[in-house]
Amino acid sequence: MLNPALYTSKKNNWGTPRALFNKLNLEFNFVLDVCANVYNAKCSSFYDKECDGLASPWFPGPVWCNPPYGRETGLWCEKALHEAETYNVKSVVLVPARTDTRWFHTYCTAATEIRFIKGRLKFEDKDGDILGSAPFPSMLVIFDPFKGLHKFNSTSYERE
């Protein structure tokens, strides 16, 4: 049974699946969750709406970021690139795989690595219960200044 909330824009703060985060945490050893709340934070140190991860420094990293999905998704990718270029902060950002957007071509193609997730993620609510499968594909965008940024050659073709 699908959760109707997955198909609306009323909810944009999808809780990261614990199994996905745990696997990535073994690889990256995150110290800060920059876009969380008390119910869905994956690190003991986290920024919530009050702390505002877009306005706060992400130092020292590595940083986990599962931002609100919607119009501000690109702002989080822009912030991740800025923190990597300016302060050498490594971050991993979980976002919808929207390769047709301006923010993808502007910020994500400047990343070190993009990992497309097979299948649809099953996001969690504040109690860790599965909401259902996401109605969109997801990707991990990795900004690692120590491995290099601007790794992708991106050629954009406009619709005719």
Assign residue 131 the CATH number of its domain. 3.40.50.150
Which of 6-10, 32-36, 76-80 bottoms out in mean pLDDT, i.e. has the lowest?
6-10
Asked if residue 159 is part of any domain, the answer here is no
**Mean per-residue pLDDT, 22-32:** 97
Q: What is the model's pTM?
A: 0.86
Cα separation of 127 and 117, whole Å? 24
**What is the span of the domain harbouring residue 78?**
13-143
pLDDT of 73 reads 95
Asked if residue 157 is part of any domain, the answer here is no
Question: What is the chain's mean pLDDT, rounded?
Answer: 86
C-alpha R_g of the chain: 15
Residue 149 has pLDDT above 50, yes or no: yes
Residue 5 has pLDDT above 50, yes or no: no
pLDDT of 160 reads 58
pLDDT of 9 reads 42
pLDDT of 156 reads 61
Asked if residue 155 is part of any domain, the answer here is no
Q: What's the total number of domains in the chain? A: 1
Which amino acid, 123? F
Residue 96 has pLDDT above 50, yes or no: yes
Pick the residue with more confidence: 57 or 130?
A: 57
Which of 6-20, 71-85, 100-114 bottoms out in mean pLDDT, i.e. has the lowest?
6-20
Residue 30 has pLDDT above 90, yes or no: yes
Asked if residue 126 is part of any domain, the answer here is yes
Asked if residue 62 is part of any domain, the answer here is yes
Asked if residue 2 is part of any domain, the answer here is no
Is-cis flag, bond preceding 60, omega within 30? yes
The residue assigned the tokens 């969109």 is 136
| % pLDDT > 90, the chain | 62
pLDDT of 84 reads 97
Asked if residue 153 is part of any domain, the answer here is no
How many angstroms from the chain centroid is the CA of residue 98? 12
